[in-house]
Amino acid sequence: MALVTKKDRFTSVKKQPVYYSDFPSTMEKAIGSNELLHLQNVDAVKNSIRNIVLTNRGERFFNYDFGCDVRALLFENIEPSTESAIKTLIETAITNFEPRAKIINVIVSGQPELNAYTISVVFSTINSIEPQVLDLLLTRVR
């Protein structure tokens, strides 16, 4: 665990624990400096889960098992069996590739009028019992 010091002209020095830290996939710079932005704690885990769900198997070099293969089911009919298959794929992928998260529930809901699925991943990090929610909208590309 690291301690990050935050200070500005309005507040005094404040220390908060940082358990996890990642860089966003956009590799943006912080405003007013040349340092890269970084995600901390729950935001880092949410970003990782989003990347796992949106990555197809075989898409990442030298790690061909990484990913979720949810895109393959987006062109199937929107019905309960497809929703169940998507839920199973997401739960398995997060369990296998994100050790910092403990899944509480995955809710998959088909949106026929949008040709999409809304996905809510309810999880907690391993160092906290407070539940977090990540909402995703998966749509067809064509």
pLDDT, position 61: 87
User: Can you tell me the mean pLDDT for 79-108?
Assistant: 93
Averaged pLDDT score across all residues of the chain: 82
User: Can you tell me the mean pLDDT for 44-59?
Assistant: 87
| Strand, helix or coil for residue 9 | coil
| Strand, helix or coil for residue 12 | coil
**Higher per-residue pLDDT: 10 or 60:** 60
pLDDT, position 125: 87
> pTM of this prediction?
0.76
pLDDT, position 13: 52
pLDDT, position 4: 45
pLDDT, position 1: 44
| Nearest of 98, 91, 77 to residue 122 by alpha carbon | 91
Give the max Cα distance, the chain: 56
* Angle of helix 80-97 versus helix 42-54 axis, rounded to 10: 120
User: Can you tell me the mean pLDDT for 56-75?
Assistant: 87
DSSP string for residues in 34-103: SSBP-EETHHHHHHHHHHHHHPPTT-STT-TT-S---GGGTTS--SHHHHHHHHHHHHHHHHHH-TTEEE
Sign (positive or negative) of CA dihedral 89, 68, 79, 114: positive
